[in-house]
Structure 1
């Protein structure tokens, strides 16, 4: 079976061949297409296909480019998503705002430390490689300031996380102390019962 993906132009060429040849099978053979089911589907939708083709050929109208599965996403886009999430945006919202796959955004955020390290190393390498003329010095300074600003935000976020963990440990310690206090009287009651039994036996 022919699993090839065909462009809109190839479908229109098939429809032109169909008008000349008269049958789907002969038109498909002339185009080298071995899937008659696909060709019959095109023939049934010929009006829609021709309308879409004529619309795409209008001057000044950009043709929509579909990103194929598996295409490489720029590191800059990944970093923008990560920074937005660090600013408080949810991962699901970031996937919608940046038009990215939810699973991909989750994967980027899980490996954000590696991605940020790679991003800043590339930025540093590009700055060192570029012998910036005086007119572009402000761009280099801005890039450094943005990197420093992100590092400050990251440090603040880590400090907050550290405070949370400290509070968590204190809570668990208090909870453990409460549980110990509650379990104390139970043991005393058992011992008092045992002593009462012993005294009754002595009386006998």
Structure 2
């Protein structure tokens, strides 16, 4: 088996594992379930991933690597948070559109075992460096009056709800508002990026001081 065939099989295994983890949860999933989903033997699966933990790390690492390197480039730009925000949202939305199971996967794992997900992330602390940079810049700009002072928990929860919630209720939204056409939902997601960016910019833009005539 050549390198391309090995990489193709690894990709097939990871995609199958995403499906099984979402359906059954990490704890209930067995390696045999993943092997069955791929259509290979458990012995063959162990050739690529010896343990379920290694498979989970591969899935999460793939998804994080699809997003954070692009965020790192944005964070290195000498621009304000308000200027960075549309670019960051664009990257998040693009990653989620390419990996529609990611929000369901992460939400289910955070509810099931947040410590496990946290440990997985912190196996490579460099993954969260861009997010820490963003937090540091936002805090600094709030102190300097360039951003409205908003608690960071409100920031994170608002952004996550705007980005992720429609994905979690994709089917009812599509059925009720889009005649059951999944293509219309994809168009909705593409158009929603500008709406989310505008909402976040409005949230953080400092209030204009009132004049004596107002």
Look at both structures and tell me which one has the larger radius of gyration over its CA atoms.
1
TM-score by length of 2: 0.30
TM-score by length of 1: 0.32
Where relative contact order (Cα < 8 A, 6+ residues apart) is larger, the structure is 2
